[in-house]
Amino acid sequence: MSFKTVEQATARLNRSELAVPGSQPKLFAKAAASEADIVFLDLEDAVAPDDKVAARANVIRALNEIDWGKKAISVRINGLDTPYMYRDVVDVVEQAGARLDLVMIPKAGTAADIYAVDMLLTQIEAAKAIKKRIGIEIIIETALGMQNVHDIAASSPRNEALHFGVADYAASTRARTTNIGGLNPDYAMLSDADAAGARSNHPGDVWHYALARVVVAARANGLRPLDGPFGDFSDAPGYRAAARRAAALGCEGKWAIHPSQIALANQIMSPSEDEIVRARRILDAMAAAMREGKGAVALDGRLIDIASIRQAEALVKKAALAGR
């Protein structure tokens, strides 16, 4: 292992993250009552320019008046290149900072973008005597943000999560795509001909590199990696497949842009019963080996390596957060 210790960000259950437009207050109560682990109230791209001011007021009222229970609540502010962003931070945090858990920064391009928001949050928390530290979640969704993803991940002790924003990322990189978060049939391998001359087409995951990069930057800095939106909410199998790919790469959660996607994310991003049982058995075996002064841990006649023990610890912690 390296001599450097990776500090883990505040642990939160974040299997699902429900996007709710700040301009649609009639959706707020349903979001509060939903099974989403985290809700983000959006002031950015789901809100038209003419509705920005009213949406900000709705969000402030919602933070102060709605009972969000144990949910973590985030607000997606506008980008740092807009004339809305400073007031999103100042008004929302000054007037409703006590109930705000996270600020989501979209289209982050450089570490200095995070520094700027951190500076504002720090001043407002001090001026308003807000006791808890508000966390930051960051969307990587531009070519510049992807280029600087490691610096961005390390930019502030407030950082908790990196999200891959596939829709804007596709636009920024000019990727040819039609279906947000879905596959592109052009991104496929055509096999060489077999003995009978037959060739077969193998669809590839056009987002693999980008999502894998976000996962590495997040994990190297103790943050949660999250996969962003899947646009076609009538396609549950497509959502499930995308969520499984993200989980396989190491993501802890995925966005829900529609309430029907919450249960899918919670299910796929939760460890299965079998995984939990096996992880507990690994930890029990480790505890027994320590008690008996043995250097090596064995289970079912096989040696368990240290990486498997760490994975088991992380899995049991995640299961406990999910109340299992």
Q: Which of ligand GLV, Mg ion, none is residue 111 near (CB under 5 to 8 Å by kind)?
A: none
From the list Mg ion, ligand GLV, none, pick the one residue 228 interacts with, judged by a Cβ distance below 5 to 8 Å according to partner type: ligand GLV
Question: What would the two tokens of residue 10 be?
Answer: 């505040």
Residue 220 structure tokens = 């190297």
Give me the residues paired with residue 254 across strands: 16, 227
> Which does residue 166 touch among ligand GLV, Mg ion, none (CB within 5 to 8 A, set by kind)?
ligand GLV
Burial (0-12, 13-18, 19+ Cβ within 10 Å), 161: buried
Q: Which residues sit opposite 42 in a β-bridge?
A: 21, 76
CA distances from 198 to 186, 201, 202, 225, 313 (A): 19, 10, 13, 40, 48
Pick what 257 binds: Mg ion, ligand GLV, none; C-beta below 5 to 8 Å, kind-dependent: none
* Interactions with Mg ion, residue window 173-212 (CB under 5 A): none
CB of 261 to Mg ion, least distance (A): 17
Identify the three-state secondary structure at position 162. Answer: strand
Q: Tokens at residue 288, please? A: 């027994």
Nearer to ligand GLV, 49 or 157 (CB): 49
| Minimum CB–partner distance for residue 168 and ligand GLV (Å) | 3
Q: What are phi and psi of 228, to 5 degrees?
A: -85, -140
Q: Which helix (H) or strand (E) holds 101?
A: none
- CB 44, min distance to Mg ion, A: 7
**What count of other Cβ atoms lies within 10 Å of the Cβ of residue 267?**
13
Residue of 22, 165, 182, 253 interacting with Mg ion (CB under 5 A): 165
Site residues (CB under 6 A) for ligand GLV?
106, 139, 141, 165-168, 228-229
CA distance 40 to 76: 6
Query: Nearer Cβ to ligand GLV, position 109 or 229?
Result: 229
**Is 104 within 8 Å of 137 (Cβ atoms)?**
yes
The nearest distance, CB 199 to ligand GLV, in angstroms, is 34
CA distance 84 to 100: 19
CB closer to ligand GLV, 251 vs 286: 251
Structure tokens at 47: 């809100």
Handedness of CA 109, 225, 72, 269 (dihedral sign): positive
**What is the per-residue binding string for Mg ion in 113-152, x denoting contact by CB under 5 A?**
----------------------------x-----------
| Least Cβ distance, residue 142 to Mg ion (angstroms) | 9
Q: Which stretch binds Mg ion (CB under 5 A): 10-18, 164-172, 244-252, 294-302?
A: 164-172
Interacting residue with Mg ion among 37, 42, 101, 168 (CB under 5 A) = 168
**Nearer to Mg ion (CB atom), residue 168 or residue 227:** 168
- CB 137, min distance to Mg ion, A: 13
Residues that bind Mg ion (CB under 5 A): 141, 165, 168
